[in-house]
Amino acid sequence: MGNFIGTIRFIIIYDNKPFYANSGEELASDNVCIVQSFITVTGSMWSFCWNTAIAIHLCVALVYCRNGIWSWKVKIFCHSVCWLLPLSVAIAAAKCEVLGEDFAQVTGTWCWIKSSLSRSDQILWMITSGKGLELVSYFVTCIMFLYLKGYMWRQKKRFNQRRFNDVSLRLRAEDENYLYLWLIGYCLRIWGTLRFFLFVSGNSSNGKPFTDISFALVHLESFGDSSKAFFTFILFCIADKTTRQLLLNKICRRRRGYEEILQSCNAEPNNDNSFD
């Protein structure tokens, strides 16, 4: 949503106009830019937090605690951290008036951290308001992916347990698909991360971001960052057989319950939902 608002704003304001930080134009950000930055920062950090939480949940449920359900205290803690931490960071950034137009120095056609800040302040707030959590999320989820893949390989060799629900009563067969959340984010958002490191190293073409290789990186980042939600939807709602059946039931107004659908999905081979 934030990227969409930012793109519409970009088309309206900068159509056929210079768009780079040293163009001499006013660097003050309008309210739409600030609100869009707030939405983008909050939404992105929510995504990173929940991706990390899902990876940790899969690891704990598969390896260390295979029976029962999470207590309400654990659920409250998880929701509090994943929802309130990003929101608090975004509010702090808005309070410090660092959200605004960055003239595509690290982003696509949307706003993030003001380019009028000092370079050190820009980098600090970029790390604080998303990029730092993004890198931590990729690292944690990648480690979990490799560890759980190795664990399932050993389970298959020793006990012929091929699916998550064969090992843990807490998990479904389709839950293995969620291990690939990090890979989706990595492939789609690597372009923005690359531009961030180029900016930090001082090797980016920040004066005119739409020239040379930066032109390609801006477009790749604009596509990747904006399409992550769509591919996450594919993974959660289309590739997940249980969720897909629930959606079809809602659309077709069928009366099959969640437990019945879950039992039918777990009872049959699930090769079509595996990314192996």
Tens-place pLDDT, residues 25-52: 444 567 888 999 999 999 999 999 999 9
Report the 10 Å Cβ neighbour count for 38: 19
| CATH at 66 | 1.20.1070.10
Of 41 and 241, more confident: 41
Tell whether 20 is covered by a domain: no
**Residue predicted with more confidence, 69 or 127:** 127
- CB-based contacts of 17: which residues, under 8 Å, 6+ apart? 25
pTM above 0.95, yes or no: no
Q: Residue 131 belongs to what domain range? A: 2-14+25-273
Give, in degrees to the nearest 5, the angle at Cα 115 between 112 and 121: 90
**With bands split at pLDDT 50, 70 and 90, how would you rate the model's confidence at 167?**
confident
State the pLDDT confidence band at 104, using cuts at 50, 70 and 90: confident
Q: Which two tokens stand for residue 239?
A: 């590739």
Our count of domains for the chain comes to 1
In a domain, 56, yes or no: yes
Instruction: Return d(Cα 210, Cα 201) in angstroms, integer.
Output: 19
- Asked if pLDDT for residue 205 goes beyond 60, the answer is no
Let me know if residue 73 belongs to a domain: yes
